[in-house]
Chains A and B, each alone.
Chain A
Amino acid sequence: MRLKAIICQVLTREFELAIARSPHSIELEALPMGLHDYGAAMRPRLQQQIDASDALGFDAILLGYALCGRGADGLTAGLTPLVLPRAHDCIGILMGGRRIHERYFESHPGVYYRSPGWIEFQKSGQSLEPAWAVARNSMGERRSREELIRQYGEENGAFLYEQFTAYRRAYSGLTYISTGVPSDAACREQARAEADANHWIFEDVPGSTWMIESLVNGEWSPEDFLVVPPGSSIRATLDEHVVAAT
């Protein structure tokens, strides 16, 4: 098959490795990570990229995304079918499936997740955020204490900073998901250093790239992948299947 893969930058290395071994011809396009921070505004941006590849004769457009806080909800297939992994976010993909993710998530509340991509591509100076944060910048959560004090005064500024960062104090761990890419060891040590610097409990868990490999190999089992036929759209069901095509 001739396939187009539109992926989140955070999965770049994993996709590159898998694509090199795929029997299919795959064109890769990586979009900057952090689109999920735009909330619902992620959808039109992603749709724009899908539309740009729609009439180019691909057999399918593979999406290196998940539901991503509903960012993928409503994406529509034009002439070309779309294929989306069934997962809530990239952590589900990186851990090797949504069920593994859910089990880990339930037993580890208050954990930041990192992976090779989360280390390599996160912009320098960007503060550590939960992998699934859906918080628009207009909420002010990304502003520094100094910026808030400058705008709102000493007392109100300090109060706002405390409010915006309070949830971080409830976070107590940092879990690094190893995916076996060449930079894995170096990224793991960087994640460990950040955990140590913040006095978070560090855990290293083995991830899996089987979902990415299956996606680029054209092995789209209905249990784990949503194939969106031309003219249909992705709809979040939020049940065990996560998404459906309507």
Chain B
Amino acid sequence: MAVSTELYEAILTGDARKAHAATQAAIDAGIGPMELISASMVPAMNEVGRLYEAEDYFVPELLLSGRAMKSAMELLRPLIAAAGLRLGNRIIIGTVKGDLHDIGKNIVASMLEGSGFEVIDLGADVAPEKFVAAVEEREPHVVCMSSLLTVTMPAMRTTIQALESAGLRHKVKVLIGGAPVTQQYADEIGADGYGDNASLAVSAVKNLCAVA
């Protein structure tokens, strides 16, 4: 049972204001941030993912639930930092060079955060060098790359090669996704995983972290 059913419901219904208020109430009641994340937020995001897979929820619902979750995290992050705690595994995510589309990437980022990961979002049009620099500096467990255009997909291969050249490839798992991306392409370019949609991307990240 969710430790804060109000927060669980607020995330599920995409109500950012209610999520913020419910989180504050939980904090005031003495519930710890990690407990709130694991007992209320993670189940809520899991249910959102399930509803999306079942085609009851669509992209707008994912965006709204992500936003509700973010409003809760705004209150929890300072508490987590102050207590010297750490969120789950660290993920770097970005849309590749030349590509400005980011809705899918944003949804994956917010669902990962809601699932308890620490997410560093590099934005869109991210050059291979920028991915490499971020991996070197932040030492993530997984790098997620997104592309919406077949013409920018080769940048995924180039980025993996850049990680190899920098001697960093073996230190991270690489996951790719985006409308024209396929498992076959992931296999061809040596990615570790592929997510067919946001919900499956989150599952793939969890699996990659489990074997990391």
- Residues in B whose Cβ lies below 8 Å from that of A167: 100-103, 124
Q: Taking the complex as formed, is A135 at the interface, i.e. its CB lies under 8 A from any CB of chain B?
A: yes
Contacts of A88 in B (CB 8 A): 149-151
Contact of B60 among A101, A106, A140 (CB under 8 A): A140
Contacts of A152 in B (CB 8 A): 14, 60, 64
A109 touches B179 (CB 8 A): no
Measured in the bound complex, the distance between the Cα atoms of B182 and A238 in whole Å is: 11
CB distance from B145 to the nearest CB of A (A): 14
Size category of the binding interface on chain A: 35 or more
- B180 closest partner in A (C-beta): A70
Q: How many residues of B contact A (CB 8 A)?
A: 26
Do the beta carbons of B58 and A171 come within 8 Å of each other?
Answer: no
Contact A140 B58, CB 8 Å, known A69-B149, A69-B179, A105-B151: yes
Judge whether A159 is part of the interface by a CB distance below 8 angstroms: yes
The reply to whether B151 and A102 contact each other, CB–CB distance below 8 Å, is yes
Contact B179 A134 (CB under 8 A): yes
Whether, in the assembled complex, A138 has its beta carbon less than 8 Å from a beta carbon of chain B, the answer is yes
Q: Are A134 and B149 in contact (CB under 8 A)?
A: yes
Q: Which residues of B contact A170 (CB under 8 A)?
A: 100, 124-125
Q: How far is the CA of A2 from the CA of B60 in the complex (A)?
A: 49
Interface residues as binary, A95-137 with B (CB distance below 8 Å gives 1, 0 otherwise):
0000001100110011000000000000000000000111100
Ranked 8 nearest A-B pairs via Cβ: A170-B100, A88-B151, A139-B59, A70-B180, A134-B179, A88-B150, A140-B60, A167-B100
20 intermolecular pairs with C-beta atoms under 8 Å apart = A69-B149, A69-B179, A69-B180, A70-B150, A70-B180, A88-B150, A101-B151, A102-B151, A105-B151, A109-B100, A110-B100, A134-B148, A140-B60, A156-B14, A159-B67, A164-B103, A167-B103, A170-B124, A171-B100, A238-B150
Q: Which A residues are closer than 8 A to B by beta carbons?
A: 39, 67, 69-70, 88-89, 101-102, 105-106, 109-110, 132-135, 138-141, 148, 152, 155-156, 159-160, 163-164, 166-167, 170-171, 236, 238-239
